[in-house]
Amino acid sequence: MATTSSLISTLFSSPSSSSSLSRSSNTKPTTKIHLSKSLHLHTPTLFLLRPSSPKLTIPLLPKLSIPKPLLLLCTSLALSFTLLLSNADSAAAFVVTSPRKLQSDELATVRLFQENTPSVVYITNLAVKQDAFTLDVLEVPQGSGSGFVWDKEGHIVTNYHVIRGASDLKVTLADQSTYDAKVVGFDQDKDVAVLRVDAPRDKLRPIPIGVSSDLLVGQKVYAIGNPFGLDHTLTTGVISGLRREISSAATGRPIQDVIQTDAAINPGNSGGPLLDSSGNLIGINTAIYSPSGASSGVGFSIPVDTVNGIVDQLVKFGKVTRPILGIKFAPDQSVEQLGVSGVLVLDAPANGPAGKAGLQSTKRDSYGRLILGDIITSVNDKKVTNGSDLYRILDQCKVGEKVIVEVLRGDRKEKIPVILEPKPDES
């Protein structure tokens, strides 16, 4: 071991270490090898100089009697020690991380969803049923849907068909707190209902109310729902049609000026809000057009301008005082088969507005022959071609207002003044 140390010391300190070592041959070119001291390594280094190649650094091990396994072990330990002391930043270079970058429209959608989900609630419809075997009375869920917070007083707006036939209603807010809900009022004709919960005001986030009169086909819309009470869902699309008409699921009365959208509206999303790109409410998601009951790209929403007036009446009076003529009229197909245009009066009760004004009903004579009643052709000089036209005109009128009804009686036309009245069950 002493011999080895003295050899290494002599190698580093000998003046001849900087001299040139040469090997000559008769047929091969001479390669000069310069031996220099290394400042950081304990092993001398050889620099091979060639005319056309860069300088290469090759470790030169002295010819010592060191076993090869021991040499390999020392080399491995040296490499491990070097990696251990290396900078952590160089090791992190091997981990490739790609930062998540969202486009501006994606950021706007995410922000809209986060800001409006606290206003969307989950509604559970419970009904009382009797067990057929034990005769016990149980409350079982018969339906569910979505809704949204209207104001800080705890009013919740949803569809009427979501709460229809319920004996008990529960509302789950965005923080998963559940409250018993009471029905303030509902409008079956427009499929709108208002509930109320006794929740703390700091937990109630009213949704921003927008306007639906200036909507355009093609603008983006967003439908938020809480279909299963577990978490909120978001679907996006555009307005694919305006001024559509659907029938109320409860009364069959047509609902005019409905918004058509291709945003997916699943059954559990009924009663949820339809928002514009600013996050304002423009409609209530109410129905889908699909034979299978699944979303097929055709959904309908009740416009917020219609909902606004209904909710105000329900909150103030608990009912909607919508005017009626007090008649029963024939289906549109029957009138078309007669070759006339208008609404055929089948019955006008004597105690109703039309009966008091003198409108005539359809009846049979003593021989069983059908005598047609009055056919309404216009109201306040607005043409009436079918039942939808008549409803649309009456929706713009008020209770107690006098309207001029033009009818076709036989082969002549008459104008009859009628004073509109509310429904008997709403008086």
Distance from CA of residue 91 to its chain's centroid? 44
Residue ranges with strand state E in 173-278 = 178-187, 192-197, 220-225, 233-247, 254-261, 273-275
> Which SS3 state, helix, strand or coil, does residue 66 take?
coil
CA distance 183 to 169: 8
Distance from CA of residue 289 to its chain's centroid? 18
CA distance 406 to 38: 114
Tell which residue, 116, 126, 106, has the closest CA to residue 226.
116
Q: What is the DSSP letter of 93?
A: T
Residue ranges with strand state E in 338-379 = 343-347, 363-364, 370-371, 375-379
**Contact at 8 Å (CB) between 220 and 205?**
no
Q: What is the DSSP letter of 206?
A: P
- In sequence order, which residues have a C-beta less than 8 Å from that of residue 22 and are 6 or more positions away? 30, 32, 33
CA distance 221 to 296: 17
CA distance 294 to 42: 78
- In sequence order, which residues have a C-beta less than 8 Å from that of residue 282 and are 6 or more positions away? 210, 211, 212, 215, 221, 259, 274, 275, 276, 301, 303, 304
CA distance 341 to 378: 10
Instruction: Give the CA angle between residues 374, 375, 380 to the nearest 5°.
Output: 105
**Contact at 8 Å (CB) between 263 and 272?**
no
Per DSSP, what are the bridge partners of residue 30? Answer: none
**Contact at 8 Å (CB) between 36 and 47?**
yes
CA distance 161 to 192: 8
Tell which residue, 61, 36, 63, 39, has the closest CA to residue 47.
36
Q: Supply the residues annotated as catalytic.
A: 161, 191, 270
**Contact at 8 Å (CB) between 261 and 275?**
no
> Which SS3 state, helix, strand or coil, does residue 147 take?
strand
